[in-house]
Amino acid sequence: MAFSLRDALRWFQGGEKKPEPLFRSEQEAYDFCVTQYNKTNGATEELRRAYEFYLKNYHDDGCEPFLGPRDHHDFGAP
Amino acid sequence: MAANPSLDLGTITISALREEHDLSSFCCGESDLDKFINKKAKKLHLDNRIKVFCACARDSHSVCGLYSLAIRHEDTKKLLAEGDPPLPEKNFPALYIGTLAVSLRHQNQGLGTILLINALRRAYYISQNVAVFGVALRSLNDRTTKLYEKYGFGLREDITQPLMVLPVWSLNDLMTRS
């Protein structure tokens, strides 16, 4: 393992080693998602059942994209 | 999945957080999550760091449940602490569902499912316009991890509150073939 001055300084200060990223590269993240998609063969039956439950019980979806100004933006600029 | 008659899901509306929504007394029973929702969620929404969506009974501002969406993951524990380390998901372009929570008195009535699918519907429309690999979240406990696995989320790490990912192609499959 390569020596890292930053990790050494963290250690001297009593801190823990900097956490490793969950995905070392974008390619690794992409491959993880492709593998998972192939593993489940797309949307699972359980997810489809949840979606059917949603469509049956919730009638006010409002998730479709709307490109005009929204009147529910009640908060002003920070 | 039987709905308890005390919560009529047909009367629920889910909308972006508004001024009149009161989150200061929201309680889902998970103390870290409650602390985050009570103290931080509205400010982060206002700062445009996350988008919070609230479920309320029609004509009411009482929040029964909520979730947030962001491009970058916000760890609720880190948000409450000083000196955050860099977030570890930096190589992973995804939409993050954060703080999906249902208030204690509305739990086990199907609202969590409604909120999750509502979040996935929004994520789907975003993914049609912005390139992402998937929809990610952090699972609270073993029970939710098993549930999300059944929904097709992949487990990335074997730790407390692991990152779980639903590939964007599974999401497309759900929305176009259901």
Q: Is the distance from CB of B47 to CB of B68 less than 8 angstroms?
A: no
Tokens read off for B172: 């497309």
Structure confidence at residue A45 (pLDDT): 97
Torsion (CA) A37, A39, A45, A51 in degrees, nearest 10: -20
Q: Do B18 and A74 touch (CB under 8 A)?
A: yes
Dump pLDDT digits (tens) for B24-74.
999 999 998 999 999 999 999 999 999 999 999 887 888 999 999 998 765
**Reading across the β-sheet that carries B63-70, which strands appear in turn?**
B12-16, B51-57, B63-70, B94-102, B134-138, B163-167, B154-155
3-state secondary structure of A21: coil
- Does residue B88 have a pLDDT over 80? no
Query: Do residues B68 and B50 make contact, with C-beta atoms less than 8 angstroms apart?
Result: yes
Does a structural domain hold residue A54?
yes
- Compute the distance between CA of residue A56 and CA of residue B55 in angstroms, rounded to an integer: 17
Closest CB from A29, A47, A64 relative to B152? A47
A34 touches chain B (CB under 8 A): yes
Eight-class DSSP state of B48: T
pLDDT score at B156: 84
Decide if B121 contacts B150 (C-beta within 8 A): no
Q: Give me the total of CB pairs closer than 8 Å, taking one residue from chain A and one from chain B.
A: 147
**B85, pLDDT greater than 50:** no
| Domain coverage including residue A40 | 22-59
Q: Residue A22 is nearest to which of B118, B153, B163, comparing CB atoms?
A: B163
Domain B10-80+89-177: state its class: alpha beta
Report the C-alpha gap between B80 and B168 in whole angstroms: 30
Kindly state whether B178 is in contact with chain A, defined as any CB-CB distance less than 8 angstroms.
Answer: yes
User: Is A24 close to B91, i.e. CB distance below 8 A?
Assistant: yes
Residue A11: inside a domain = no
Task: For residue B156, give the chain A residue with the closest CA.
Answer: A22
Q: Say if A26 falls within a structural domain.
A: yes
The verdict on residue A49 lying in a domain is: yes
A77 falls within a domain: no
- Residue A76: per-residue pLDDT: 61
Sketch the domain layout of chain B as residue ranges. 10-80+89-177
Number of domains in chain A: 1
A39 confidence band (pLDDT: 50, 70, 90): very high
Nearest to A57 among B90, B110, B125 (CB): B110
Which of B20, B47, B150 shows the shortest C-beta gap to A44?
A: B150
pTM for the predicted model, two decimal places: 0.83
Choice among A38-52, B108-122, B152-166 with the minimum mean pLDDT: B152-166
Residues 7-46 of B with CB under 8 A from A: 9-10, 12-16, 18-20, 45-46
Pick the residue of A40, A46, A73 with the most B CBs within 10 A to test the interface with B by mutation.
Answer: A40
**Model confidence pLDDT, tens digit, residues B97-154:** 988 999 999 999 999 999 999 999 999 999 999 999 999 999 989 999 999 999 999 9
